Structure 1
């Protein structure tokens, strides 16, 4: 199954892509965006296989936006201007659709998309620099993440911990939302490690973590304990 999003500042263009995508059996259009900034935030949390991307957009050209992405994602450009054709293929675009395009043309473009199995396309690790080197930390190895002023301590199952200069907000943006939750200004936890909650304290295997007032609602979405 190809997981895709669409980015276009024209709502009608997004509606057409939604309609066409609903007819493709092996593709799921996860979300649509009319602002690149919103799409960028989404992609940090939820990597996809394919982006339908309008080239002529406010603020940042679609080609430049695609070049700025850190993840390896396929792209099909959509635009009303055929003069971008050569530039689009310079960035290894899967295809280039000139508006207005038919469903048949849309389907042919999607059929060119070749993806690896989902388990290979989605990162299962956190990359963070500490002690003058880059650490690759498997999500499964994280016990909890603790904030200490301008630093974070990542407590691990396989070793003691790694201390790195970073903000909790920055770390949270790099973690999958479905697997981690921030429960306090100083703590981020793997959801499946939560053993229970007693008197507003979360019990893990080796830790007891307080629930911050600001983060109660986020936790309530996952566990009903009040």
Structure 2
């Protein structure tokens, strides 16, 4: 099931999307919004797979809004303006629906959305940072560090990627068999936990503390 929301400043446009969505069996349109701040608040709490997104809106251009979404959400742009098409696809948009669009055209766009139901079958992390979509192989991740409203992904080639996300949201994108949260500020690859000294995990040059809340899960993995 594809979980989706829609954001458009025109109520009629949202009604049409709602009507079309009801006819598609594997699509669940969770909510619709005509105010960007309301949509942002919802996304921060309830990640979805897909957003139907208008481009020309009063407060912020829809493309700018999409660039700041903290989770890996696919997008289908819905707009009356054809001139944004090239920019839309440069953002890896699933499709670009030009208003007014038919149900068949809407259905065709939704059918392009591929959602993998199990994180365990995914071998990479897709995350938006620095106005780009980064595709990071799990094997290249050394650790993930939480920094208030941001996370910093430390890669094995010594580089780092900083993105706006919560630790909870990033953990939901990772395979549970490959990664474990060991502290409120740290996620590490399970296979790299080789040495624990005084409740600290040693990975390369990093010494990572094990939080009280997470010690049971860590010890369970080590004892296997």
TM-score (norm 1): 0.57
**Root-mean-square deviation over aligned CA pairs:** 3.4
1:169-221 Cα offsets, whole Å, 9 max, x none, are xxxxxxxxxxxxxxxxxxxxxxxxxxxxxxxxxxxxxxxxxxxxxxxxxxxxx
Q: 3-state SS of the aligned residue for 2:59?
A: coil
* Closer/same/farther in 2, CA of residues 64 and 119 from structure 1, 3 Å limit: same
Alignment of 1:137-152 (within 5 A): none
Q: How does 1:1-226 map to 2 (within 5 A)?
A: 1-117=1-117, 128-129=146-147, 156-159=212-215
Deviation of 1:57 after TM superposition, in Å, equals 0.4
2:131 is aligned to none
SS in 2 for 1:29: strand
Does the CA contact (< 8 Å) of 1:141 and 1:157 recur in 2? no
Q: Which residues of structure 1 form unaligned runs of 5+?
A: 145-153, 161-226
On the 8 A contact 1:141/1:156 being kept in 2, the answer is: no
CA distance in 1, matches of 2:62, 2:118: 25
**SS of equivalent residue, structure 1 residue 16:** helix
The corresponding residue for 1:179 is: none
User: Deviation at 1:119?
Assistant: 5.0
CA offset at residue 115 of structure 1?
A: 1.2
Superposition deviation, residue 158 in structure 1: 2.9
After TM superposition, the runs of 4+ consecutive aligned structure 1 residues lying more than 2 A away are 118-121, 126-130, 133-142, 154-160
**Cα–Cα, structure 1 residues 157 and 69, in superposed 2: closer, same or farther, change >3 Å?**
same
Bigger Cα Rg: 1
State the TM-score, normalized to the length of structure 2: 0.57
Paired residue secondary structure (2:37): helix
1:129-150 residue CA offsets vs partner (Å, 9 max, x unmatched) = 39xx9696779979x9xxxxxx
